[in-house]
Amino acid sequence: MSSPTSALEALARSKRRRSVADAVLLVAVLTFGIVYAYLGDSLALRHAGAPAEPAKASAAEVQEAALPQAEEGTPVLDGNAVAASEPDPAPHNDLQRRIAGMGDRLGDTVCGRNIGDAVYVSLTEASRMVGADQRWDKGKQAGVLISDSGLVRLAADSSRASVNEAPRQLSGPVRLVNGEPFIPVRALAELYDASTTQDAGTGLTTITLGAKTLQVAVPERLFKIEICRGERWLKVFYAGKLAKEYPICSGAGDNTPVGHFHIQNKAVWPSWRAYWGELIPGGSPRNPLGARWLGTTARGRVTGWAIGIHGTNQPSSIGRRISGGCIRTYNENSMELYDTIPIGTPVWIHE
């Protein structure tokens, strides 16, 4: 029979063992919780810069973000949406740096505008081309071009002009861009017998008048996007040359339509109206649209929903064919495309 002292010592040893086991179990639980939360956040937000004011995800949101997501809903474009864009003159991402290098090979060009699907050039550049003295009255929004060939009168928002006081109908009206008059390049042929040609490969428009030439570069005509839904890649072309290729996720089955479309809007961290009606804010790990949205004029073959090129909360889906029809790419790639690709850029999707 053991003594009372031995029994007490045995009880103490048993308590110490239970205390150590409880401490080890507590440390294990805490460690698992930290690792789980980290992996969940990494899975949901990998390849994504943080949104301006990211919503803090609950454990349920992080867990749901790990589930396959389809774009079976619509983007909600609010104040962060862009309806038109200007080219950024200072390259600050890899795609822009590549394009800047390619642009050096284009030679001397002036920046034009695409208005109503027609190429426009500033009246200042046009007057230099034809050797005319331009006088524009901002108050009357009208002006004249004076050259050896005579006097041309023009007015903003009017396609009626005159040459030496004889009326002349232009192919399109004079338009104001940031207060500056722009004229259709075809109007130079109608006013001065200049010839105009468009290069389908480079996207450049060339105006020729005698020995003088002027090349007009419209940003959205220089860019082209080609998407292969079968091989899951997206290529950006600039002035007819390949600038960069990106891996993508395309639509399951026949969800991604084929054909010729163009970029019609853009958005930063777009909200998403899910097909069950819930509005999921941009930046949420449950939002499948990711960091950026470039909306196209295409509609889903099966659903009829808007088709866009966008980031993703599921980076593991890139290289697969499982989306609801949209073109997914890594968030950092969607940011690069958003910052570089202008509204109006043609998009060709094929198998």
| DSSP track, 70-92 | ---EEEE--TTEES-----SS--
Across-strand partners of 308?
Answer: 295
Answer whether 294's CB lies under 8 Å from 347's CB: no
Length of the chain: 351
Dist. CA 55–CA 305, nearest whole Å: 26
Q: Which of 111, 260, 326, 350 is catalytic?
A: 326
Across-strand partners of 162?
Answer: 153, 167
Strands 327-328 and 306-310: parallel
Sequence-separated (6 or more) residues with CB below 8 Å from residue 224: 203, 236, 237, 238, 345, 346, 348
Sequence-separated (6 or more) residues with CB below 8 Å from residue 165: 151, 153
Sequence-separated (6 or more) residues with CB below 8 Å from residue 259: 298, 348, 349
Dist. CA 132–CA 135, nearest whole Å: 10
* 262 part of the active site: no
Q: Which two tokens stand for residue 219?
A: 């940003």
Q: Which of these, 102, 141, 127, 268, lies nearest to 187 by C-alpha position?
A: 127
Dist. CA 223–CA 234, nearest whole Å: 13
* 326 part of the active site: yes
Q: Which of 47, 249, 262, 310 is catalytic?
A: 310
Answer whether 290's CB lies under 8 Å from 267's CB: no
Dist. CA 289–CA 328, nearest whole Å: 8
Residue 73, CA atoms < 13 Å, CB-side half-sphere: 21
Answer whether 340's CB lies under 8 Å from 263's CB: no
Give the residue numbers marked as catalytic: 310, 326
